[in-house]
Amino acid sequence: MAKDLSIEVNGIKFENPFLLGSGPPGTNAKVIAKSFDLGWGGVVCKTISLDASLVVNVAPRYGKFRSRESNEVVGFENIELISDRPFETWLDELTQLKKNYPNKVLVASIMEEGKRENWHEIVKRVQETGVDAFEMNLSCPHGMPERRMGLAMGEDPVRVEEVVGWVKEVSTIPVWAKMTPNVTHPQDSALAAVRAGVDGIAAINTILSVVGIDPKTLLPQPTVAGATVPGGYSGQAVRPIALRHVMEIAKAIPSDVTISGMGGIETGWDAAQFMLLGSSTVQVCTAAMLRGYKMIGELTEELLKFTVDHKFAHLRDCIGHSLPHFSTHAKLVEAQRQAKLDRKSNADNNWKGDIAKETSDLTATE
Ligand SMILES: Cc1cc2nc3c(=O)[nH]c(=O)nc-3n(C[C@H](O)[C@H](O)[C@H](O)COP(=O)(O)O)c2cc1C
């Protein structure tokens, strides 16, 4: 029976598979240290770039989608860009965090313009801080695509292969590529990253959305000086879409390329489902924003209980467990037809068996 949730991924030891996903929960050293203290296995920091002065955030930048019945927030839209904090500050903070928390996993989320020298510089300078891995943000859906960054790179497999290749040329630590869900075939970009030598795939980033319109002002939300842009949707409403993406990617990529799954994880069972479909680590962003960092206690308790209830000797044994049960529609039709035939033939056999038994019972009593 699994005694703990430890897991080794890309040669990195995680005390549990839960990371805070890149976003507000990992926005500076203070909150990252707090999350380590509370028991998160790792943190992916808010995405950083070389020149933060080019990043200008707006306010308000969040919109909530609520359940009609309970008023609970079930979906969350943001038009937040990557970190607007100076690169040098980030380098100092990442160095300090690794010194203070050598056994916690710190992943640097990085993004740059489509120039080889930019990616080389950011990788070389950030890896000197001692971070454990990189997550390349190839998937931010709003704002950054205007500079041909984020989603603009990630939706184009040719670009993905090129840019991941540049990072792999100089990286001395594992590299994950974070994928966009704003495509029909997520496996195309994932396979391009694999061709370039990526160590892991992270999925999903947020889904392009318009969260709603204010019923009084009739302005689309979130409104900044009378206008808005489509934003990135996250939270529990996106989980079924995220699971589909993770499943498609897991089925397509080689088994030694790992997956860090995310999108609407709020409970240990949510996390287990991402693992059953091929993730070896999981990330949580929106739920940590809505419920607070302390939720890690419940997440680990519930995931450990899942491994015990289903008799997995180790957490790693559940990874990909449910994947073989995805098929094609044509095969479902054939399997259904065969099952009907089997049921009929069983019923016929049972009927024949009943007749035979009745006959022999009669003979015995004569
Ligand atoms: C407010 C906000 C800011 C985010 N910023 C980033 C970011 O800087 N880099 C990144 O890779 N993903 C970013 N994300 C995406 C999350 O890391 C995650 O991929 C997505 O929200 C789905 O997971 P969730 O439902 O647990 O939030 C952000 C998400 C939110 C809600």
The DSSP result for 276-333, as a single string, is HTT-SEEEESHHHHHH-GGGHHHHHHHHHHHHHHTT-SSGGGGTTTTGGG---HHHHH
User: How far is ligand 1, taken at its centre, from the CA of residue 206, in Å?
Assistant: 6
pLDDT at 350: 83
DSSP output for 125-154: HHHTTT-SEEEEE----SSGGGGT-THHHH
> Which pLDDT does position 181 carry in this prediction?
97
Determine the pLDDT at residue 351.
77
- How many angstroms separate the Cα of 192 from the Cα of each of 98, 176, 276? 31, 13, 24
Among protein residues, the one with the nearest Cα to ligand 1's atom 5 is 23
Dist CA 131 CA 110 (whole Å): 12
What pLDDT is attached to residue 145?
76
Q: What is the pLDDT of residue 365?
A: 58
Helix (H, G, I), strand (E, B) or coil at 27: coil
**pLDDT on residue 65:** 97
State residue 89's pLDDT score.
98
DSSP state of 221: S
Choosing from 20, 285, 293, 296 the residue with most ligand 1 atoms within 8 A of its CB, the one to mutate for a pocket test is 285
**285 catalytically annotated:** no
Q: Return the pLDDT at 363.
A: 65
Compute the distance between CA of residue 127 and CA of residue 199 in angstroms, rounded to an integer: 16
Spans of the chain below 50 pLDDT: none
Cα(first)–Cα(last) distance of the chain, in Å? 58
φ/ψ of residue 241, rounded to 5: -70, -40
Tokens of 213: 């319109």
The confidence score (pLDDT) of residue 58 equals: 95
Beta strands in the chain (DSSP E): 7-9, 12-14, 18-20, 42-44, 62-66, 73-78, 105-110, 133-137, 175-178, 200-203, 207-209, 231-234, 258-262, 281-284
- Ligand 1: atom nearest CA of 47 is 8
Torsion of CA 44, 51, 169, 166, to 10 degrees: 100
DSSP 256: T
